Amino acid sequence: MTQDEMKQAAAEAALAFVEEGSIVGVGTGSTANHFIDGLGRMKSRIRGAVASSEASAERLAGHGIELFDLNHVSEMPVYVDGADEIDASLAMIKGGGGALTREKIVAEVATRFVCICDETKQVEVLGHYPLPVEVIPMAQALVARELSALGGRPVPRAGFVTDNGNLILDVHGLEIRDPAGLETAINQIPGVVTNGLFARRGADVLLLATPNGVRKLT
Ligand code: 5RP
């Protein structure tokens, strides 16, 4: 089974969490794309979706799924998205695709966060994958110095601008033993929009695809 086939299996399993007639929160990335394609097959059974990126919005629209502005949505039973790393407490590093801020906003509105991953994303300690931090451009140098003081090695993501018009610093070399504490600490730095730690509000359910099937962890 290839990694992409595992991503697809996790995404297909997440369709069972979609409630009839609901508005679905939709993540970003290759695993989320498989979920969007599955959602396309059951579009007559949902009201529509809120997208966490322009890319996902375009793919959802391509399936004829109605898009909702989050400001007009007060109830969203489920948000489904992938992750770059996830630990046993279901804290995650996200933002490999640069959509971390909108992902965190949409996830916050949802009652339940269902994370869909292949088994390569499961780790004991977060941080091997560089932690993305979205930064307002004028604060890049300041934020980079502060992230270095926290023990990381920030590297600007070359040629990348987020959907919100900002930059990403990918922070290498972290061994994240206190994900919620680091999430809060980084968010205190002026100029940081969001960081890719999803620990204060982690996943509620992990659908982890392995060559032997999809495991559900809570
Ligand atoms: C995008 C994300 C993605 O969920 C994460 O990068 C995983 O991507 P993929 O499903 O392509 O492996 O956080 O900002």
ipTM of the prediction:
0.98
Residue range 175-198: average pLDDT?
Answer: 97
Catalytic residue among 103, 134, 146, 183: 103
| Cβ count within 10 A of residue 177 | 10
Reduced to 3 states, what is the DSSP secondary structure of residue 161? coil
CB 18 within 8 A of CB 40: no
95 labelled as ligand-binding? yes
pLDDT of residue 63: 97
The pLDDT tens digits of the residues spanning 127-148 come to 999 999 999 999 999 999 999 9
pLDDT in tens, 192-209: 999 999 999 999 999 999
Measured in whole angstroms, the distance separating CA 16 from the mean position of its chain's CA atoms is: 19
How high is the pLDDT of residue 38? 97
**Rounded to whole angstroms, what are the CA distances from 171 to 96, 102, 190?**
12, 19, 17
The predicted-structure confidence for 56-77, as pLDDT tens digits, reads as follows 999 999 999 999 999 999 999 9
Pocket test for ligand 1, best of 6, 26, 28 (most atoms within 8 A of CB): 28
Q: What is the pTM of this model?
A: 0.94
* Closest ligand 1 atom to Cα of 100: 14
Query: Catalytic annotation on 103?
Result: yes
Q: What is the pLDDT of residue 199?
A: 98
As beta bridge partners, residue 114 has: 80, 205
